[in-house]
């Protein structure tokens, strides 16, 4: 798989922080457990977006 992964990928192929939050929120409302590795990735994306907004202010 590593042979086909691209090092530089356009942002349009990534979930937005809002989409990540939505996934976590829907899982919480439905009382579904999100796999830990996915939860970490989603939270990291949300944190990155938050950090960018803090430095832009």
> Residues 3-48: pLDDT tens digits?
888 888 888 888 999 999 999 999 999 999 999 999 999 999 999 9
Residue 57 has what pLDDT?
65
Q: 25 is written with which tokens?
A: 């929120």
Cβ neighbours, 10 Å, residue 49: 15
Angle at 46 between CA 42 and CA 49, to 5 degrees: 140
Give the DSSP letter string of 8-45: S--GGGS--HHHHHHHHHHHHHTT-PPPHHHHHHHHHH
Compute the distance between CA of residue 29 and CA of residue 14 in angstroms, rounded to an integer.
24
């Amino acid at each position: 798989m590593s042979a086909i992964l691209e090092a530089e990928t356009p942002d349009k192929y990534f979930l937005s922080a809002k989409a990540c939050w939505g996934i976590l929120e829907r899982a919480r409302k439905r009382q579904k457990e999100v796999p830990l590795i996915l939860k970490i990735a989603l939270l990291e994306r949300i944190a990155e977006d938050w950090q960018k907004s803090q430095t832009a202010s």
